[in-house]
Amino acid sequence: MHYDGIVIGAGHNGLTTAAYLARAGLKIAVVERNHRIGGGCSTEERILPGHRLNLHANFYMGMGLSPLLRDLELHRYGFSYIEPPVQQAAAFRDGTCVVIHKDLDKSCASLARFSKQDAETFRDLWHTYCEEMRPLLVSLMYNAPLPRDQLIDRLSGAKGKELLSHAQHDLFSVVRKHFVDERIRTLFTSYMHVITTENVPGAGIVFPAIFANIASFTLPVGGAVSLVHALTRVVEAGGGDVRSRSRTAAPPAWCSTTAASSAPANSSPAPSISRPRSAWPGRSDSRSRCVKRPSHGTGATTAW
């Protein structure tokens, strides 16, 4: 069989690459040497029948801002997620707990039980990185990197200089830069490990991007593998194949929120897939549609 390209490795990165190529009109083969596809995005029945566990990735951080949701129209291929109102927490041996909510005031109230100073710092960081500078951070993440001198020139404002000041720190000292309470430091230090960065001087520059998504943890409906199967359907809709040592023609029924087969890329739009209620502000319905990425500016010409 003839293919326009071959992608080696059917993890989420390989499948995302193949899906983009398929949407561009290419016939792609993805080959995986392991018995299952998905890499770190795997969900299996390991303990009891009917009880599925995510083997590595449990949540997708900042998924709602990722361009691939819109670019690949993943809602048409069975992918959806929920945004829990309670996002994360750290429980300690003395019975206390620090909780981060999607609601800013609730998060600050939780932090203020241990440190009013840290609660105010959290509020300031929220306004800076979750609101004011989020378009810039999203643009930097999903566009080709700028040369260092150009980046520094465009980050010439006061907020830009504050962002760049994180480059003086490693993953741990950057947390101590902002917070004073040890419990709160413990929680935010754990966040710094969501990316594969060594704890070396300069690594602290990732703090603003991580904080910008501090309340954007999403849970994929059907488990982490649901993203893998949606991407697979995109590839197959373009005439391609995804093959592993033991992969069957179709994923298990529980992996999909819809019984429909893969929609061809040039077909008319399919109805959005229903999903459990999300934590969107102002939503009162018990069922809501798949999330699509909101539009945003590139921030490329703004001096922050």
d(CA 93, CA 124): 29
**Whether the predicted pLDDT of 128 surpasses 70:** yes
User: What mean pLDDT do residues 105-129 have?
Assistant: 97
Angle at 76 (CA atoms; ends 26, 84), nearest 5 degrees: 125
Residue scoring higher pLDDT (88 or 275): 88
In the block, which residue shows the tokens 């904080």?
211
- 267 pLDDT more than 80: no
pLDDT tens track for 23-72:
999 999 999 999 999 999 999 998 999 899 999 998 999 898 899 999 99
Residue 275 exposed, middle or buried by CB count within 10 Å (0-12, 13-18, 19+) = buried
Q: Full-prediction pTM beyond 0.85? A: no
Give 38's strand partners: 11
19 has a pLDDT exceeding 80: yes
Q: Which domains does the chain carry?
A: 5-83+222-266+273-280 (3.50.50.60), 103-215 (no CATH)
3-class SS of residue 289: strand
pLDDT at 251 over 80: no
**Residue bearing the bigger pLDDT, 270 or 27:** 27
The DSSP 8-state label assigned to residue 253 in this structure reads G
Can you tell me whether residue 175 is helix, strand or coil? helix
Contacts 24+ apart (CB under 8 A), 64-68: 64/216, 64/218, 64/291, 64/293, 64/294, 65/134, 65/138, 65/213, 65/216, 65/293, 65/294, 65/296, 66/142, 66/293, 67/142, 67/293, 68/16, 68/19, 68/20
Q: What is the pLDDT of residue 290?
A: 35
Q: 3-17, 37-51, 98-112, 227-241: lowest mean pLDDT where? A: 37-51
Give the C-alpha separation, 187 to 176, whole Å.
12
pLDDT computed for residue 265 by the predictor: 40
Q: How far apart are CA 83 and CA 216, in angstroms?
A: 7
pLDDT at 25: 97
- Residue 172 carries which DSSP code? T
The answer to whether 249 touches 96, Cβ cutoff 8 Å, is: no
SS3 assignment, position 222: coil
User: Can you tell me the distance from the alpha carbon of 281 to that of 103, in angstroms, rounded to the nearest whole number?
Assistant: 9
Measured between alpha carbons, how far is 16 from 175 in angstroms, rounded to an integer?
A: 32
- pLDDT tens string 130-174: 999 999 899 888 888 888 788 888 888 888 888 889 989 999 999
Structure tokens at 88: 């994360």
Q: What percent of the chain has pLDDT over 70?
A: 80
Has residue 246 got a pLDDT over 60? yes
Between 260 and 221, where is the model more confident?
A: 221
Structural element, H or E, at residue 108: helix 104-112
